[in-house]
Every structure is written in C-alpha cells, then in structure tokens.
Amino acid sequence: MTEYGKALSARSTTIPGLTIWELPVHGDNRGWFKENWQREKMVAAGLPDFGPVQNNVSFNDAIGTTRGIHAEPWDKFVSVATGRIFGAWVDLRAGPSFGAVFTAELDPSRAVFVPRGVGNAFQTLEPNTAYTYLVNDHYSPEASYTSVNLADETLAIDWPIPLAQAELSAKDRAHPRLDGIVPVMGRKKLVLGANGQLGKALRDLYSDDPRFDFAGRAELDLATGDLDDAFRWRDYDTVINAAAYTAVDAAETDRGRSEAWAVNVTGVAALARVARRYDLTMVHISSDYVFDGASDRPYDEDHPVAPLGVYGQTKAAGDQIVQTIPRHYVVRTSWVIGDGRNFVRTMMSLAQRGVNPSVVDDQFGRLTFASELARAIRHLTDSRAPYGVYNVTGSGPATSWADIARRVFALAGHDPDRVTGVNAERYFASIAGPVAPRPRNSILDLAKVHSVGYQAGDVEAMLGCYVRGESAAAER
C-alpha cells in the first residue's frame, strides 16, 4: 500500500550509482498527488542532473507480468504511477561490481535511479500497474543494448511469482546467461586535435584504453561549427579539446585572424554547446598568451587576462566560453614541446648543422612537455579534481629561450656558447612578415595544480630525456 507523507530522501544500494528514492505522496479522499520528477529538489538531495529527454510508460494488465533484464546506454529514473512492482537490478557494467544484484519493491511513494549499464527488470504485484521512466537519450538502432536472462542461476533473483507462472515475452526468455554477455563499457572519452603534439601524447598515454576515441582535423574540424551530428555524443562523458589554431604570427594577417577566431572561438563555442547539452566534462587547453607578460610575478589562475595579439585574444575568449560549462577544466600552459615541430627540435637541428643561432633572452617561462601535459589532464579527470582553471607547466626555475637553447646545445654535445642572446625587439625586427607580440613573462604559478595532488615533472630532467630520445617517465 502506498505510504503517504514521506520526506524526499535517497539511499544508496549495493550497486554503485543505483539509488532508491522515497517520494512525498499527498493523499486525500480524491486520491493522491506526487511530484514524480522535481529537478531542483532532487538534484539538491543528490540525484545526478542527468538531463532527461523522454518519458516512457509501461502499462501491465496482470499480476506477474515480468520484463527485463535490460541495460541501455542511458540513465533512467523509474517510478510507479499506479500499482506495485518487485524490481530487480543487475550491474552489467565492466568492473568489480559486474553481476551485483539489488532488489526492492516500488510503489508510487518509492522510485529508483538506474545508471547507464545497469540492467533493469520488474515484476508486477498488482493488476493494472503503470511503470514510468524518464530517460536521457532517445532510442537509436546504432546503440548497444545488453540484456541478461531473468532466470540466470548465478543471479539467483527470488521472484515473488515464479517465472514459470509469470507473463514473459519470448524475447526475454531467450536472453543469454550472465557468463555469455559482454560487460557494458563505461562512457568513453574523446580527444580532439589528436594529431598535434598534445594529441599524440594523449594517444601514447591512453593507447591501451578502449574507452578513448581520437579524432584529428579530418574527423572533426572545429572551424565548421557544425558539431551536433559529428559523433554520438551520449556515448561520451569527457571531451578533451587539444585542437586549436596555433599559428601565432599568421594570426596577425587578415586570413589568419579569421581562421584563428573560427577555430579558437566559434568552434569552441559550438563544442561548449554540445558539452552543455550532453552533460560532458570538457577539458580545454589554454595558453600563456592570454596575459600581456607585464607582471613582475608568476601568473596565477585568477589573474585578469590581457592578451597582446590576435592568437592570445582568441584563446582568452575561448577560455571564457568554456568556463560557462558546469563541468570544465581549462588547462593553461606554456612553451609546449612534443612530437612535432618545436623550439627544442629546431635548436637540435641547428646545433647538428653547425648553425650558430641568435635567440631571444628577455622572455621568461618554463617548458611544458606534451607528455607532462597529458599526465596532468589524466590526473585532473581521474581524481575528479574541482572543476576550474589550472596552470600546468614543467617545474623548476624559469629560464629564457636563450637559456634553453644553450642547454639543448650542451645536452646534444655541442658548445653552448655558439648561442647568442638578443632582446625580442631586435630579434623580431629582422624577421620579414607579420610578427605577433609575445608576453615577456610567461611564468605560470603551479600552486593550485599542486594542491590537488599533481606534481609537475622537472624541466631539466625531462629536457635531457627529450634530447637523448628517452622517455621522460624514467625521470619521475
């Protein structure tokens, strides 16, 4: 019998993420009323803000009607409109709780939140039972649906009405046993810009993880701004945006300015809309170029932005957009070195070819190796650090570009005195074509990222490994 007057409350179960909800039902001589779904109150009480898009009702004539056990690639909030059921839930997700079973009776005053990948089944205990569920995705023939047999002996579900006497569909009777199904994988993560220096480092870091998909520009070009149908976004919980327009000097031209804004702002805004719609965590890579470099101290995450050039302006604008997403990490970095064209490789080539370079000696910062940046992203997302902006670079003393060039020469077995230091004004005056203004101070304060348990690797040690062609992981 429906219990009236309960307070809204939730309790956890033996299946991670599966929660039972006690619902306030108000009754009088006319019948009863309840708020079956009340986003503000339920989210405040601990229900994930799972964004339902469809409401379904299953009506069942007879006592003993039994349906399930079905796991769909979406979350469900299940409630009874009239009647009473015996519910059974089986964790079909890959992981240590695979095969865990939980059962409970539901009536109009008790509901259940069923996370993606948990099998859902019920048996009616009263005639004319209506079973309702809110879901946060629409049916798709391309999606994967996993089911397990209601009579599986290893699950040992104690059905109130024996299945031999129950009303079942032929399809439900034919579902495989638990040992014959492939566990449901968790929602995946998508890396955009997967062919750049950071993208390649993320590929290396997650090469053996089937939950990661990687997309280069050929698979998704942020400049198009049309992202809604680019992927089945409901299959993902995180998107790491390593794609960007990074031609700093070319951005000062008419064409480059347009392209930089198209990718770094318009494209990021389109991606942010997708993230909000599908409740994705978005990891976005920012730059020291959002600052003017005039500060006499390292820049922390709260320092006001003041970009000098077009590239910095577009990155600052993109950062602001991403920070409107509830679940976001803006990872601000500087002087990235990875697998591709970069300053260190240029210096190594010049040293080997006998060229004695002039290098800027009045701009200061720290190198960030792409492998280190990828490791920081993994730490933030895996540890579920508080959302927000984080500075990430290598650790150690700040240096000038000229200091780094001399160290590269020495590590490569060449005379570091072959490198001549010059100020930025003199250096860039000798270059034909547009030149973007650069911040003189690119030093980023690392206190915040250290406070969430991440320790940046030492730049000197990683630079040595990079020049020698070794993995920097050995230095940690």
Q: Which residues contact 281 (CB under 8 A, 6 or more apart)?
A: 237, 238, 239, 275, 327, 328, 329, 381, 387
Query: Exposed, middle or buried: residue 408 (CB in 10 Å: 0-12, 13-18, 19+)?
Result: buried
User: Quick one: which H or E segment has residue 32?
Assistant: strand 31-34
- Name the active-site residue from 70, 175, 284, 328: 70
Q: Are 280 and 265 in contact (CB under 8 A)?
A: no
Check the CA dihedral 350-355-356-361 and report its sign: negative
Task: Indicate if 188-475 has the same CATH topology as 9-180.
Answer: no
User: What is the dotted CATH code of the domain comprising 9-180?
Assistant: 2.60.120.10
Distance CA 60, CA 67 (A): 10
Q: Is 138 tagged catalytic?
A: no
- What is the three-class DSSP state of 345? helix
Domain boundaries, the chain: 9-180, 188-475
Distance CA 183, CA 468 (A): 43
Distance CA 147, CA 76 (A): 16
Q: Are 379 and 456 in contact (CB under 8 A)?
A: no
Q: Are 236 and 282 in contact (CB under 8 A)?
A: no
- Name the active-site residue from 4, 26, 131, 133: 133
213: left (phi over 0), alpha (psi -120 to 50) or beta: beta
Q: Are 391 and 456 in contact (CB under 8 A)?
A: no
SS percent in the chain: helix, strand, coil, step 5? 30, 25, 45
Q: Are 459 and 396 in contact (CB under 8 A)?
A: yes
Q: Which fold has domain 188-475?
A: Rossmann fold (3.40.50)
Both tokens of residue 76?
């469900």
pTM: 0.84
Q: Is 131 tagged catalytic?
A: no
Residue-level pLDDT, tens digit, the chain, 476 residues: 678 888 999 999 999 999 999 999 998 888 889 999 999 999 999 998 888 989 999 999 999 999 999 999 899 999 999 999 999 999 999 999 999 999 999 999 999 999 999 999 999 999 999 999 999 888 877 777 899 999 999 999 999 999 999 999 999 999 999 999 999 988 899 999 999 999 999 999 998 888 899 999 999 999 987 788 889 888 899 999 999 999 999 999 999 999 999 999 999 999 999 999 888 999 999 999 999 999 999 999 999 999 999 999 999 999 999 999 999 999 999 999 999 899 999 999 999 999 999 999 999 999 999 999 999 999 999 999 999 999 999 999 999 999 999 999 999 999 999 999 999 999 998 888 899 999 999 999 999 999 999 999 999 999 999 999 876 544 44
